[in-house]
Structure 1
Amino acid sequence: MTEMTMKIRQELDALEQEEGIRILYACESGSRAWGFPSKDSDYDVRFIYVRPVDWYLSIFDKRDVIERPISEMLDISGWDLRKGLNLFRKSNPPLMEWLDSPIVYAEACHTAERLRQLSSQAYSPKASIYHYLHMARGNYRTYLQGEVVRIKKYFYVLRPILACEWILRKGTMPPIAFESLIEALLPKDGELSRQIEELLIRKKSGDEWDDQPRISVLNAYIEEQLASLEQAAAQLPGAKSGIDSELDELFRDLLREAWN
């Protein structure tokens, strides 16, 4: 166990004590989970938690998110279980990615495992592709329009575009690892793959904050994909039949398990 992993687990333990909660699942999100962290990348820790039964027996709406200020390379936030399950039934891609994270810090009551068993029923290709398409469009418009751009921003456009392409070809939730998307979707000996591989090397070595002239091959690919993906997304099927009763049952099960 690394020193940072120990620190993260200590922080999660402290959160349980301070907030009176039980953390059911905690994992790494962001660039470390995606497989392209730089030397100074933050640790983006995300978790699902549950409160005591009486907290839910109220006529009032209550805050269902816990966030801590970013400090010492740690960005920690979490969702209440009921919020998480409501987002899961809507095929929320960030939550689906958490369940697929290769870096898990905590799991109680087999929470992630039980959600993964229901994921194929909850998954909506249309909701997922629109999420990634919105992300790609927004990041491209904000960060990659100038003559000089920041290296790291290419990844925050390329990854969601490749995720969209995966959804169109496979009809399933895309893998969380960026390099798995490249290997599956791009020609290995093409100029596009070569440019992305060079950027990956530079980002991992710590050059991610460097500014440089925009890369015409990548910008052309991005613009072409954004246009075609918009048309393709509209043709995808919507959500499948509901799993509300299963999620209600899961909520009650996890609530009992967490506090018994």
Structure 2
Amino acid sequence: MNAQTIDNEKLQCHVDAHPYPLVFATISGAHLYGFPSPDSDFDLRGVHLLPLDHLLGLEVSHETVEKSGVYDGLEIDLVTHDAKKFFGLMLKKNGYVLEQLLSPLVVHTTPEHEELKQLAAKCITRYHGHHYLGFAANQWKLFGREEPPRVKPLLYTFRVLLTGIHLMRTGQVEANLLRLNETAKLTYIDDLVARKLEGPEKGRLETGQLEYYEREYQRLLAELETAMAESPLPEQPTARATLDDLLVRLRLQEGAGP
């Protein structure tokens, strides 16, 4: 498999050019999920800290910073949220932000990033299962829209379902499909990943294969629903007060300057 390598030095330069101080920046997307193609872009995700004078008016701008393009030969898609917005997302049933926070592919970190990672467990609830059910349904729709269908949205569908099942059963966020499959032992995953990595010509499925994968989709969907119903995870996050304290501390540090 000819997966793309990660050039941390080039990515770090891109992060250093961010207009606001960063709490963290990690790599998400196909690199995090374990099946980047040679031409996969780099999805950089993270948290920035707006200056206090940006927060005083009725309108708060740049709560989200987005930038994409080709830099130093790397196709990069960067999205960061201001700390307040990101902390709010952590308290909702949003598994995506927890995957970003806990990504092992770290480009930039701080002590506060480590604090946030410790707080992630207190944000996870059984209702995060709804996030993964909805995400899987959207990916399945994308898979069904193309003729012949592509391998990529099918892999994303199975990745989302296995992440959700694992989270409901263990309380642990794991976004890497290959690691998840060490437990799930789905015999077709390695073949699908290999086909995606070999490029567009190999990255499509035969029409006759669709019925089999639809049965697998429905089976895993039901497995996630059962895991959610039986999950020992709490119904509400318990990290709100601690996140509030951390946000105030970050704001005061930023206000104090260098």
For the aligned pair, the TM-score class normalised by the smaller chain equals 0.7 to 0.9
**CA offset at residue 202 of structure 1?**
2.1
The residue number in structure 1 matching 2:8 is: 5
Distance 1:82 1:99 in 2: 14
Unaligned runs of 5+ in 2: none
Q: What does 1:98-137 correspond to in 2, within 5 Å?
A: 98-108=100-110, 110-126=111-127, 128-137=128-137
Given that residues 29 and 101 in structure 1 are in contact (C-alpha distance below 8 angstroms), is that contact kept between their aligned partners in structure 2? yes
**CA offset at residue 180 of structure 1?**
1.4
Change (3 A) 1:100 1:241: closer
Distance 1:231 1:179 in 2: 23
Unaligned runs of 5+ in 1: 187-192
Percent of paired sites with the same residue: 26
The residue number in structure 2 matching 1:245 is: 241
Distance 1:131 1:208 in 2: 32
Which has more helix, going by share of residues? 1
The residue number in structure 2 matching 1:189 is: none
Given that residues 123 and 238 in structure 2 are in contact (C-alpha distance below 8 angstroms), is that contact kept between their aligned partners in structure 1? yes
Change (3 A) 1:140 1:211: same
Aligned-pair RMSD on alpha carbons?
Answer: 2.5
**CA offset at residue 152 of structure 1?**
1.4
**CA offset at residue 83 of structure 1?**
0.4
Summarize deviations over 1:123-177 as a string: whole Å, max 9, x none: 1121x2111111111111231366731111211110111122213332x133121
Distance 1:156 1:91 in 2: 19
The residue number in structure 1 matching 2:151 is: 151
* TM-score, L = length of structure 1: 0.84
Q: What does 1:97-246 correspond to in 2, within 5 Å?
A: 97-108=99-110, 110-126=111-127, 128-144=128-144, 148-170=148-170, 172-186=171-185, 193-207=186-200, 210-214=203-207, 215=209, 216-230=211-225, 233=228, 239-240=235-236, 242-246=238-242
**CA offset at residue 197 of structure 1?**
1.1
- What secondary structure does 2:205 align onto? strand
- What secondary structure does 2:179 align onto? helix
